[in-house]
A and B are shown apart, each in its own frame.
Chain A
Amino acid sequence: MSDVSVSPNPLKRALGRVNWGYLWYQLKQSPLTLGGGAIVLTVLLLVIFAPVFATHDPNAIDLRARLTAPSLTHFFGTDEVGRDIYSRILYGGRQSVAVGFFVVIVAGLSGTLIGAFAGLIGGRVDTVIMRLMDVVLSVPSLVLIMALAAALGPSLINAAIAIALVRVPVYVRLARGQTLLIREMSFVTAAETFKASRLHILRWHILPNILSPVMVQATLDLGSTILLASALSFIGLGAQQPTAEWGAMVATGRNYILDQWWYSAFPGFAILITATAFNLLGDGIRDILDPKQKAR
């Protein structure tokens, strides 16, 4: 097996450092984390294989069967134009999970790179970048996201972009902070005396070492992004009809809450379960990867 520790790919090297056997042992110690992980896997399965698990076409309308109660044909009932809510929840899950991963990957990648760069280069550039990030962080994020989403046009992808933009500063700050710590370590100063280029240091020394707190943040962010995206759809700035999306379904169901409580209840429950699972998983991963921050 090739020596992973000298692989040029920072991700591979970071992953290579992990003792997978011990990791599994630690995971087994925490039932909550295992539970969270299991739920995450189930949700991902259901959502990726939605066409297999769905009972109806999520967009098939039936105006004469509106707002029917949960039954054997329609597990979660039908909505205001007769579409099957259960199938829409499955397909809707695709939207929510996709947005979650999109935001975390885009914001995480760009934020980490910018932050690491800022931390490494120091000086004026660093100060300017950080002040900029501070300003963005000071704008009430929900308002900023709403305004951005409204400006870009209401759609799920624009909502995802808006959320990603607002999350970047978090990763920048995190990456920079970690970079400042790592920068002082001997192996970096050693590399510097050998006139290693900044890019080289960044790639080989900084990034692999800051990856684990970033991963922790990313996993936690998955849960909160799903919440945020559904909140945006609730206000009407996210997914558009006829696309199924959990937050949008809760919003429409609101008009029928008294007599057809299932319409809002089930999609919201889906949000709750998914976000909880990601958060439990994230908590557990943090406890394992970063014992200093552990909630013990």
Chain B
Amino acid sequence: MKISQWFQVVGAATVTVGMAIHAPVALADSDSDLLVVAKAADPQTLDPAQTMDNNDWTVTYPLYQRLVRYDVSEDGKGLTSVVGELASSWTASADGTVWTFDLASGNAFSDGAAVDAAAVEYSFNRLMDLGRGPSEAFPGGMKVEASGEMQVTFTLEQPFAPFLYTLANNGAGIVNPAVEGKGGDHGTEWLSGNSAGSGAYMLTGWERGQSLVLEPNPHYGGAAPSIEKVRVDIIAEAAARRLKLEAGDVHIAESLPVDQLDALDGAAGIEVQNYPSLKVTYLYLNNKIAPLDNVDVRRAISNAVDYQGIIDGILDGNGVQMRGPIPEGMWGQNKAAIQYSYDLDAAKKALSMVGGTSEEITFLYSGRDPLWEPIAIATQAYLSQLGLNVKLEKLANATMRERFDTGEFGIATGNWSPDFADPYMFTNYWFDSKRHGLAGNRSWYTNDKVDGLLQKAVVSSDPAERTALYGELQEIVTDEAAYVYLFQKDYRIAVREDVAGFVFNPMLEDIFNFGSMSLSK
């Protein structure tokens, strides 16, 4: 081909490319009925019986309904008490072992099938049969039976005080029995990437690593949602999520780090919302190995951490120091329990009682929470002031969790948020000697008296009695410094000002009530 012809081709190509770059971006539909959420990572699985990750729940919670839901107060605040969703009413036997639920009529799955007792029975049997993480919240030996066309009966082996609340969990989502026909293990492979629920929305598209699309369930039993399409965009870079929010390309930007949120505060068209939450960050102290098996060493560590420094420096003041395991806002918190503070003299004194220690303490953390690394670095610096030799190890999340379960670590960072509004969430899991390791008691703490208190509290149905039991427990576990109780941080989310109707519920972090939200014009 001659040179001149070649240039002609190149020229034509350049012009086409130039036009294409400046072609107006055709949006799929009109702006006012589309809500876009920017998320940091792709969900792993959308099967309620499989997923244990809040990141997945953002998408799954609106796709399914549960027997009960969390109530909303008059002034639009999420409450921790529950009211019926699929269930219109319920009764419990005197000893709390038999629960009977009457289902409301008019609720239907996305394929039109009605939500009846058979569906509820199927969902729970499927959940327990698959035996994955979500099933663990429910007491073993629980029997579920459709005792009528619209009536379900749950029979527990023992009374379980938080039982009613567990029914609002993501794992208790009612699944369309038709998934059984999707083959495999109760259709779990299919359900991981699709939806089969009766919630206000259904999943209509998922481009892995790019975006998910939710559209209204045509057979939804409640009021039709105002938002006609929800798109969850996966944008890994926090800076990119923030910029898209500022540009108006997304309405809600999740998981923005503290510094980005501060920069957005007061920006035009954007609102940074702050809610006190029940999510806590704490340090596991492996009570099983030296030198942390010594209570004085643990007390010394608890006094060597600059709690306020961490809250001011790393959280920018958006948090409050924990007082014991139960966070503020949850009933049962013992306001008289010990709260350690940054007191280097007391720390050195406690340590001197042991005669000091030269052992190396491994400190594990992962990149799952960006705050963990600064906390780890700071803690190591604080503890070195005591003369303690701390070695930091940043691991993949999976590897770290393995070490929790085998007890091969000294100190580690952890986050915890409740699945239901009961002190059980922060006490049984953390201190019961039957839950050593990954199951919840990651400090490998053992105290028979505490075990006894926990046993009594879980079967009792008297709140006053339980408060007293938990109160005593908190005194013991703070005195023995089983964990380092760091802080409870606010839930902060940056949204555009035209997003209305968002109700934050401390039980449902990272979950948005799309069905009752709207975009003001």
Partner of B374, one of A81, A154, A259: A81
Q: Are B238 and A255 in contact (CB under 8 A)?
A: yes
A241 and B376 contact, Cβ closer than 8 Å, known pairs A64-B309, A64-B312: yes
Q: Which of B60-68, B388-396, B415-423, B447-455 contacts A (4 or more CB under 8 A)?
A: B388-396
- Top 9 closest A-B pairs, CB basis? A63-B313, A258-B239, A61-B381, A241-B392, A63-B309, A81-B377, A81-B374, A241-B377, A242-B377
Q: Are A257 and B381 in contact (CB under 8 A)?
A: no
Q: Are B378 and A61 in contact (CB under 8 A)?
A: yes
* B269 located at the interface, meaning its Cβ lies under 8 Å from any Cβ of chain A in the complex: no
Chain B residues near A150: list those with CB within 8 A: 396
Chain B residues near A61: list those with CB within 8 A: 377-378, 381
Chain B residues near A80: list those with CB within 8 A: 373-374
Q: Are B394 and A252 in contact (CB under 8 A)?
A: no
Q: Are A240 and B313 in contact (CB under 8 A)?
A: no
Which residue of A59, A252, A258 has the most chain B CB atoms within 10 A of its CB atom? A258
* A204 located at the interface, meaning its Cβ lies under 8 Å from any Cβ of chain B in the complex: no
Q: Are A241 and B394 in contact (CB under 8 A)?
A: yes
Q: Which residue of A lies closest to B380 (CB)?
A: A242
Chain A residues near B393: list those with CB within 8 A: 154, 240
CA gap between A61 and B314 in the complex, in Å: 12
B254 to chain A, nearest CB (A): 15
CA gap between A242 and B377 in the complex, in Å: 6
Q: Which residue of B lies closest to A67 (CB)?
A: B259
B367 to chain A, nearest CB (A): 7
Q: Which residue of A lies closest to B396 (CB)?
A: A150
Q: List 22 A-B contacts (CB under 8 A).
A: A59-B381, A60-B381, A61-B377, A63-B310, A63-B312, A63-B314, A63-B374, A63-B378, A64-B313, A81-B377, A81-B378, A81-B381, A241-B376, A241-B377, A241-B380, A241-B394, A242-B392, A255-B238, A255-B239, A256-B259, A258-B243, A259-B263
Interface residues of B (CB under 8 A from A): 238-239, 242-243, 257, 259-260, 263, 306, 309-310, 312-314, 367, 370, 373-374, 376-378, 380-381, 392-396
* A66 located at the interface, meaning its Cβ lies under 8 Å from any Cβ of chain B in the complex: yes
Q: Which residue of B lies closest to A82 (CB)?
A: B313
A154 and B395 contact, Cβ closer than 8 Å, known pairs A236-B367, A259-B263: yes
A244 to chain B, nearest CB (A): 11
A150 to chain B, nearest CB (A): 7
Given contacts A255-B239, A257-B239, 8 further A-B contacts (CB under 8 A): A60-B381, A61-B377, A61-B378, A63-B314, A64-B312, A80-B373, A81-B378, A258-B260
Partner of A255, one of B257, B309, B378, B381: B257
Binary interface encoding of chain A residues 51-69 relative to chain B, with 1 for a CB under 8 A from any of its CBs, else 0: 0000000011101101100
Interface residues of A (CB under 8 A from B): 59-61, 63-64, 66-67, 80-82, 150, 154, 236, 240-242, 252, 255-259
CA gap between A80 and B392 in the complex, in Å: 17
CA gap between A82 and B263 in the complex, in Å: 19
Q: Are A236 and B239 in contact (CB under 8 A)?
A: no
Chain B residues near A63: list those with CB within 8 A: 306, 309-310, 312-314, 374, 378
CA gap between A80 and B371 in the complex, in Å: 10
Chain B residues near A236: list those with CB within 8 A: 367, 394
Which residue of B243, B312, B376, B394 has the most chain A CB atoms within 10 A of its CB atom? B394
CA gap between A256 and B396 in the complex, in Å: 22
Q: Which residue of B lies closest to A63 (CB)?
A: B313
B216 to chain A, nearest CB (A): 36
Q: Which residue of B lies closest to A257 (CB)?
A: B239
Which residue of B243, B306, B310, B376 has the most chain A CB atoms within 10 A of its CB atom? B376
Q: Which residue of B lies closest to A150 (CB)?
A: B396
CA gap between A256 and B309 in the complex, in Å: 21
Chain A residues near B378: list those with CB within 8 A: 61, 63, 81
Chain B residues near A154: list those with CB within 8 A: 393-395
CA gap between A63 and B370 in the complex, in Å: 15
Q: Which residue of B lies closest to A242 (CB)?
A: B377
Chain A residues near B243: list those with CB within 8 A: 258
CA gap between A154 and B314 in the complex, in Å: 25
Q: Which residue of A lies closest to B308 (CB)?
A: A63
Q: Which residue of B lies closest to A59 (CB)?
A: B381
A292 to chain B, nearest CB (A): 37
Q: Which residue of B lies closest to A80 (CB)?
A: B374
A77 to chain B, nearest CB (A): 14
CA gap between A150 and B396 in the complex, in Å: 9
CA gap between A259 and B376 in the complex, in Å: 24
CA gap between A66 and B312 in the complex, in Å: 11
CA gap between A295 and B106 in the complex, in Å: 80
Chain A residues near B370: list those with CB within 8 A: 255
Chain B residues near A258: list those with CB within 8 A: 239, 242-243, 260
CA gap between A241 and B263 in the complex, in Å: 27
Chain A residues near B306: list those with CB within 8 A: 63
